[in-house]
Amino acid sequence: MQDSILTIHEMMAAGPNAPIENPYALYARARRETPVLEVSGMGPDPAMLLTRYDDVHAALRDSERFSNASNGDRGIGILIGRTIIAMDGSEHLRNRALVTPALAPRALRGDFPKMVERIANELIDKFAQKRERNLAGSGTAELVREFTFLFPIRVFVEPLGLPAADVEKFHAWSIDLTRVTADPPRGLAASAAIRAYLKPVIEAKRAEPADDIISTLVTSEVEGERLDDEQIANFLCLLIMAGAETSFHLIGSTLFALLTHDEALEEVRAHPDRIPLALAETLRWESPIQIVTREVAEDVEVSGSLIKKGRDVILGIGSSNRDETKFEDPDRFDLHRENGEHIAFGLGRHYCAGSRLALLESEIAIRTLFERLPNLRTDPNVEPGRMSGFAFRSPTSIPVAFD
């Protein structure tokens, strides 16, 4: 399987935002022939890439042997500092309890859905009203540039209690953070800029808490312990990377999936209550975050291969969610898939704390688009976009027309 090995190595070396259109054929061959594959390019030392669903599933649930230490000082922690994704055991549980109130299920009720819907409508207004003057009676838009790129960071910034005028600034920083592998100085500069921006904000919230996420983080307490300013800044950097960026990829990929699958599009258009089905299948079909890393805390055997203590492993989320032994016809987008459960949000103790918020804002965004833009469809006069990315995947563009 030398050809596949070389290509996967090239993908790794190209960085998380590499314009990879379709890695799934390579992953399928790796699952069959070399399910535990030594790869380079994601760090100073080679790591072991796991590609089978059962192996990745087991590793995600086994936080004792598959440690989050790889996300610390020699991983993403270099960029965003120490956060819950680099912690294990009691330290992880304690810190997760401190930050969880900021993402509590109560946020799914009350003003949050109304705020999300308002932001969606404001963004749609900017291009829909402009097209209403079109004498042909139809409109066009490019939804990545005009909606999905802007919407999640708007939803992120307002609950933090930050000025809406700073949305574009935060979006630029978030992009630089995710591209740190390709351009380390730029990523580090973005991290420093976020911290400099947040320092006086956190201090002000300590002095006078309000009804926002930063104030919740400032006042959160577990067994007499609170987060210090640096821990709060670290967690907010994590939210920017893992929260806003994940929603950006998920919303775009779901729209892409629906607009390129006519039966699913017609079904969701006629039955908006089935949008959650589309989101769930998109999370499997084109997982927004395709890989996560762990460090092996003791010697462990995976699919017949021995991985020695201290080695980093890369868990292939995207590959696992296309595993043909778990999902029938895995490359097909199927709203009513009955077999298998995706692992796009992780499992066990490190299951994504913000998953419910991400799903809610994504559902509201897509529902609002279909409500506001009748007969939403691909624009036949514009070259279509394509799915792209290695560690993060989403469409390059979504050119649409609407009545």
* pLDDT tens across the length of the chain (403 residues): 445 555 776 676 666 666 788 899 999 999 999 999 998 866 678 899 999 999 999 999 998 899 887 766 666 666 666 766 666 677 767 767 767 766 765 555 667 888 899 999 999 999 987 655 454 567 899 999 999 988 988 888 888 888 878 877 887 887 787 676 667 788 888 888 988 998 999 999 989 988 888 888 888 876 777 888 888 888 888 877 776 778 899 999 999 999 999 999 999 999 999 999 999 999 999 999 999 889 999 999 999 999 999 999 999 999 999 999 999 999 999 999 987 789 999 887 777 777 888 899 999 999 999 999 999 999 999 999 999 988 889 999 999 999 8
Per-residue pLDDT at 143: 97
Cβ within 8 Å of residue 81, ≥6 positions away: 230, 231, 233, 234, 237
**Beta strand 139-142 with 300-302: parallel, antiparallel or unpaired?**
unpaired
Per-residue pLDDT at 173: 83
Report which residue type is found at 237: C
Per-residue pLDDT at 301: 96
Burial of 132 (0-12, 13-18, 19+ CB in 10 A): exposed
Q: Which CATH class is domain 2-391?
A: mainly alpha
Give CA–CA dist 181/179, Å, rounded: 6
Per-residue pLDDT at 256: 98
Q: Which of 70, 18, 16, 20 is closest to 47 using CA atoms?
A: 70
Give CA–CA dist 169/163, Å, rounded: 11
CB atoms within 10 A of CB 383: 8
Question: How far is the CA of 76 from the CAs of 70, 79, 181, 293, in angstroms?
Answer: 8, 5, 10, 10
Give CA–CA dist 8/26, Å, rounded: 7
Give CA–CA dist 363/348, Å, rounded: 24
Q: Which of 140, 136, 137 is closest to 128 using CA atoms?
A: 140
Q: Which of 236, 217, 116, 120 is closest to 174 using CA atoms?
A: 236
Tell me the backbone φ, ψ of residue 306, rounded to 5 degrees.
Answer: -90, 125
Q: Contacts from 321-326 at CB under 8 Å and sequence distance 24+?
A: 321/53, 321/283, 321/284, 321/285, 321/287, 322/24, 322/27, 322/28, 322/284, 322/285, 323/31, 323/51, 323/52, 323/53, 323/54, 324/28, 324/31, 325/52, 325/53, 325/54, 326/53, 326/54
Q: Judge contact between 163 and 132, C-beta under 8 A.
A: no
Return the exposure string of 328-351: e unless at least 16 CB atoms fall within 10 Å of the residue's CB, then b. eebeebbbebeebebbbbbbebbe
Q: Which residues pair with 49 in a beta bridge?
A: 37, 314
Per-residue pLDDT at 1: 45
Tell me the backbone φ, ψ of residue 243, rounded to 5 degrees.
Answer: -90, -70
